[in-house]
Structure 1
Amino acid sequence: MVVRPDLIILNGKAITFDPEQPRAQAVAISGNKIVAVGGSSDMRALATEDTRIIDAMGATILPGFIDSHVHLFAGAAELGYLDLAGVYGIEKLRDLVSAYSIQYPDDEILFGVGASYQVIGPDRHPTRQDLDLVSPDRPFAMISTDHHTVWANTSALELAGILHGAAVDQGAEIVMAADGRATGELREASAFAAILLRTRFGGRELAGMTTGADPVPTPTLEQRARDKEALAQGLLHCARHGITGLHNMDGNFYTLELLDELRSEGRLVCRVEVPFHFKNTDGLERFAEAEEMRRRWNDDMLWCRRVKMFLDGVIKSRTALMVRPYPGTTHHGDAVFGVEEFNEACIRADALGFQIAVHAIGDLAVRRVLDGFEAARSANGSRDSRHRIEHIETLHPDDLPRFAELDVIASLQPGHAPFGGFFDKEGLNSLLYPEQKPFAFAGQQLRDSGAKVIFSTDWPVMPVDAMGNIRAAVVPVEMPAPWEPQSQSLEESLYSYTAGNAYAQFAEDRLGRLRPGMLADVVLMDMDIEALEPEALGQATARMTICGGAVTWEA
């Protein structure tokens, strides 16, 4: 029986990632499946009077982008906060905060996002006194681009009850001055959780990361409605960029319940995974909650099959865990977990059949995660676990071959590199030794070693824009030696955003390729991206996004 398509895209240049038919002109969709891929005339012959025909006009057709490392709720919430990306200088900052203050008179704490560590000036981080000048009349705080540091003015610290310090989790710090009061710099989640509780979303957008399983305090009905609407708008924002799938890196039962409600309302326009976040303060008995999350949500639209952990912080705040102490210091960074407790967590999660994803940025953190995965394999036996390491911003050369040996996925964000073209290219220069720089953000070296490499943005750390991130991978900014910016091919980069990410979610038989029988997740770009100069790749965007056969975005 011939299936008649509901929608056909003709006259395109399809990159299918199907080895049996790598290139095609047209794709036909019926229901939630791709039913045919081939030449335009053959596909047109399948149409009925009810079939919608889309003329691609020579533009690229791809499997839908899957962003494999995002913070959906945070990204959605931050669409409405004060955007400080690219802002430098106290005068500019003061002007923006003053205007924002007038616009949002009811916010308990004015909150800015995307702030550079050098927002006040080079070679120094902001202080509460700086921010008192920026916002003299109202509490004000801002979060760094990497979301690992918050800076707050005096009144915000007082409001949060942490001006004179407070107990925080291992690996976090309320930086204190000699006078016994906070400087205003709050490093890592538990240090700034009290600030987030006073912001517009009450910290619920990062509750899975900052407070464990549940948002604190429990939201009112009005807050719940606001949170759900923010998530809906965040999902639409992703669909506009050609994204059909998201691997969230934080979340909890509350996030999953809101997403499930959106699904029942027909507004879950991207497939979403929400992990179970296991913290260093948790006992192993908490994995029972992970099992409950997996039992309740376990289908192709909304699921939990992964455990997320943090092993360290970030380089810019010197909380990333390093083999050698930071230049000019005796400080190696901060380990979120001890070695034994981390290995035990890996063994337990692996034994329960969960995939594990671990944030590891420093070279020693990466090594310890690989050790933890190896301990799990030794204890439980080898299986198709597809465990992941997130970020890998520095890597000791001795550990490079271990990714392929242990079948560990390297989850990278090309735009995060100093040569990615998004952030200050000098920002890490003084924080790494010359011998570390050739193995920093080593995407191509990991590929060449045989490791599976996947791409993502870490939205809202950077925009949830696949093509901008691909541009960063294909055309890195030139850097002086000993930096080694590593250019990756366009096809490799696209694969890492589609078929590679489908593999990372154990869905390579259903997603990530344009092939008959696959789920119909498709993006039609607005131009032929292979005809672009590499530097212009970031100009391409989605003309149409299709998730499960439904058009979720149309320009």
Structure 2
Amino acid sequence: MKPAPPLVILNASILTMDPLHPRAEALYCREGRIVAVGSNADVRALAEPDAVVLSAEGATVTPGFSENHMHLFSGAAELDHLQLAGVSGFQELAARAHAYAAGRPEQLFLFAQGADYTLLGPDERMTRHHLDRILPDRAFAIFSHDHHTAWANTKALELSGLINGAEVGAGAEIMMGEDGLATGELREMEAFDPLLVTAGADRYRLGLSTGGEPDPYPAGADFETDIAVMRRGLEWCVRHGFTSLLLMDGNYHQLQLLAEIRRRDGFLPARVRVPFHFKNFMALADMQKGSDMAAAYGDDELSSGTVKMFYDGVLDAWTALMVEPYANKPESIGDCLFTQEQFTAAAIEADRRGLQIAVHAIGDGAVRAVLNGYEAARKANGLRDSRHRIEHIEVVHPDDIPRFAELGVIASMQPPHPPGAMGLPLEPTVSMIGRERWPYAYAWRTLKDAGAHIPFASDWPVSPICPIRGMKAAITRRKWAETDPDQRFTLLEAIAAYTVEGAYAEFKEDRKGMIRPGYFADLTVFSRDLEAMAPETLDEAKVKWTITGGRVVHAA
């Protein structure tokens, strides 16, 4: 593949995120790097005659956006599923499902994504009987928007061997009815993975569900199907302005698919980092796979080197681990997928190997346990620039807020996740958290002011991937009570969370995350001047061009 031609962008409102030179109107790229940033006249004087010239027409140009927590392979596969975001009530659900099923008469198993826990109303939980009324003769399963709960009809439960229940590990649960049969509600991955296996869709979630490899390994048409799914995901990401992707599930299969796409095309449209997923049933010796993945894939386009773990579940299923009981379920503090001792041992081992650790921890009890593990790893192995991460942090205990900066722990957070943001209902989540904990829920401003690094993300496909909507959510977030702290970010802080902070989280702040000579020519060009827009209208802007390594990989 020939290198991208020289590229010039003129007439722009460039937000460089470089504190030394924060603004410019033009830039020049050559051989995948930024060569010059300045005025139109300065850049025109430097550019070769054969350079591609783009006019931003006064619109905002930023460093290429980084999606700092996402699930590329499974998200891409789900683009073809029935999408239920915003659907409310049984009648609307039934109408959507009937229309979707009618268009796929030969499909064995039908899946839907993005359902609110309160889809049927604030006081009614979905069961197989609801879904049987919609599609009694075809296997049908719906996943919650957070992907931690599924609801399946009787046909799906029978085909998957779940109708009579099954043994599952810590933190997972197959809800059983008084009749001795499964109700259809399946909490956490181990409970609902049999649905995906039965449907032949488990390859796309292996990096999340088991951290293992497909067996048998896909060949021929199956491999080409996986290539097509991965391409679809990459295209979806660059369409939304992303030039860097930090995956939060992974295995060799995903790395090999991405490497094959690069071999065929000569480049990847976005830079991708794929972790090793360490599960609670694994032995510490299995951490060698993470070291091997890091050694095999370590360039600036495709890399590994992170260990992903899950400590708890989610608030809406009462599976997030809390310090004190749930406000609306006082007998429960949730569940943990590791004991403190198990997690600490894993953290010490991963840290000893020089791997970065990223842990899903939603409840304040899980956040505390992960911080404890990181502190123990520092004591055991010595101080180093580890940049370990905690993902989500939907509730944090006030005593633990300063520990992020003290331990150098990155707080990876998602602006679309708070109840009330981007169309999410307030209930049942705010009542589960409880009024006393509201000030410490989704507390990204509080953590930032305490010195933590805060990269933003969507957790796609859990939430819509669009970073413009994510920035709007961060800038316009409303308090649940007037006495709660204001957690809003400014526009420039939100942009930094998708650029500078993403580069820092990858240890690559010396080559990306800013528009500066010598840095990668990774750029996101918008259709409007974002600074001239009212925050409430920010999502009227679109991504006009996405540029990775000086190559235009998306043009609207």
- TM-score, length-normalised on structure 2? 0.97
Question: Is structure 2 residue 345 aligned with structure 1 residue 344?
Answer: yes
Look up the match of 1:376: 377
Q: Contact conserved, 1:208 with 1:215, CA < 8 A, in 2?
A: no
> Are 1:169 and 1:281, in contact at CA under 8 Å, matched by a contact in 2?
no
Give distance in 2, aligned partners of 1:481 and 1:278.
41
Q: How much does 1:48 deviate?
A: 2.7
Q: Which amino acid aligns with 2:9?
A: I
CA displacement at 1:54 relative to structure 2: 0.8
Q: How many Å separate the matches in 2 of 1:215 and 1:51? A: 45
Instruction: Render the CA deviation track for 1:64-108: whole Å, top value 9, x for unaligned.
Output: 000100000111111111111111111211121112112112222
- Give the conservation status (yes or no) of the 8 Å contact 2:438–2:480: no
Deviation at 1:218, TM superposition (A): 3.9
**8 A Cα contact 2:210 2:279, kept in partner:** no
CA distance in 2, matches of 1:222, 1:424: 42
- Aligned pairs (5 A) from 1:143-154: 143-154=143-154
Q: Deviation string for 1:27-72 (max 9, x for gaps)?
A: 1000110001011111011223211111111101100000100000
What are the Cα deviations for residues 392-440 of structure 1, in whole angstroms up to 9, with x where unaligned?
0001100000000000000000110114233112331220121100110
* Letter aligned with residue 355 of structure 1: Q
SS in 1 for 2:435: coil
Amino acid corresponding to residue 60 of structure 2 in structure 1:
T
- Give the residue type in structure 2 aligned to 1:326: Y
1:472, CA displacement in angstroms?
0.5
CA contact (8 A) 2:248 2:274 kept: yes
Q: What letter corresponds to residue 335 of structure 1 in structure 2?
A: C
Aligned to 1:26: 26
Question: Which residue type is aligned with residue 73 of structure 1?
Answer: F
SS of the equivalent of 1:175 reads strand
Judge conservation of contact 2:211–2:249 (CA < 8 Å) in 1.
Answer: no
Query: Is the partner of 1:34 in helix, strand or coil?
Result: strand
Aligned residue identity for 1:174:
I
Contact 1:207–1:215 (Cα < 8 Å) also in 2: yes
Q: Is this contact kept in 2: 1:5–1:47, CA < 8 A? A: no
Does the residue aligned with 2:416 lie in a helix, a strand or coil? helix
Q: Equivalent residue for 2:538?
A: 537
Equivalence map 1:512-551=2 (5 Å): 512-551=513-552
Q: Specify the alignment match of 2:333 in structure 1.
A: 332
* Number of the residue aligned with 2:368: 367
SS at match of 1:511: coil
The answer to whether the 8 Å contact 2:136/2:154 transfers is: no
Shift in Å, 1:333: 0.3
Assess, with a 3 A threshold, how the Cα gap between structure 1 residues 218 and 195 changes in structure 2: closer, same or farther.
farther
What amino acid does structure 2 have at the position aligned with 1:466? P
C-alpha separation between the residues in 1 aligned to 2:47 and 2:357? 44
- CA distance in structure 1 between the aligned counterparts of 2:20 and 2:303, rounded to whole angstroms: 30
1:104 counterpart letter in structure 2: R
- Deviation, structure 1 residue 116: 1.0
Local SS of the residue matching 2:316: coil
Separation of aligned partners in 1, 2:404 and 2:129 = 45
Corresponding position: 1:416 with 2:404: no
Partner amino acid for 2:210? T
Partner SS for 2:465: coil
Aligned amino acid, residue 330 of structure 1:
E
Alignment of 1:278-357 (within 5 A): 278-327=278-327, 328-357=329-358
Which deviates more, 444-453 or 118-127?
Answer: 118-127
Q: How many residues align?
A: 551
Q: Which residue of 1 aligns with 2:59?
A: 59
What does residue 263 of structure 1 align with?
Answer: 262
Deviations 1:447-491 (A, max 9, x none): 110111110000011111111001001111353345545111111
Q: Which amino acid aligns with 1:14?
A: I
Segment of structure 1 superposing worse, 92-101 or 218-227: 218-227
Deviates more, 1:232-241 or 1:172-181: 172-181
Tell me the SS of whatever aligns to 1:527: coil
Counterparts of 1:40 and 1:332 in 2: how far apart (Å)?
59
What SS does the aligned partner of 2:373 have?
A: helix
Does 1:472 find its partner at 2:473? yes
Does the alignment pair 1:426 with 2:427?
yes
Deviation of residue 244 (structure 1)? 0.1
Q: Provide the alpha-carbon RMSD of the alignment.
A: 1.4
Q: Secondary structure at the match of 2:488?
A: coil
What is the DSSP-based 3-state SS (H/G/I as helix, E as strand, rest coil) of the residue aligned with 1:171? coil
Instruction: Provide the identity percentage.
Output: 48
Deviates more, 1:90-99 or 1:441-450: 90-99
Structure 1 counterpart of 2:230 = 231
Supply the distance in 1 between the matched residues of 2:27 and 2:67 (Cα, whole angstroms): 22
Q: Secondary structure at the match of 2:308?
A: strand
Gaps of 5+ in 2: none
State how far apart, in whole Å, the 2-side matches of 1:76 and 1:40 are: 39
Give the SS at the match of 1:416.
Answer: coil
Kept in 1: contact 2:86–2:423 (CA 8 A): no
Distance in 1, matches of 2:172 and 2:550, equals 45
Q: Deviations over 1:185-235 (max 9, x none)?
A: 111111111001133x52211111112211355435322211210110111
Partner AA of 1:445 in structure 2: T
Aligned counterparts, 1:444-459, within 5 A: 444-459=445-460
**Partner letter of residue 276 of structure 1?**
F
Does the CA-based 8 Å contact 2:122-2:428 persist in structure 1? no
- Aligned equivalents of 2:100, 2:195: Cα separation in 1: 18
For 2:123 and 2:73, the matched residues in 1 are separated by 32
2:142/2:150 contact within 8 Å kept: yes
8 Å contact kept, 1:67–1:456: yes
- The one-letter code matched in structure 1 to 2:275 is P
CA–CA distance in 2 between the matches of 1:290 and 1:447? 30
Amino acid at match of 2:256: E
Q: Is the 8 A contact 2:326 2:433 kept in 1?
A: yes
Preserved CA contact (<8 Å) 1:204 1:216: no
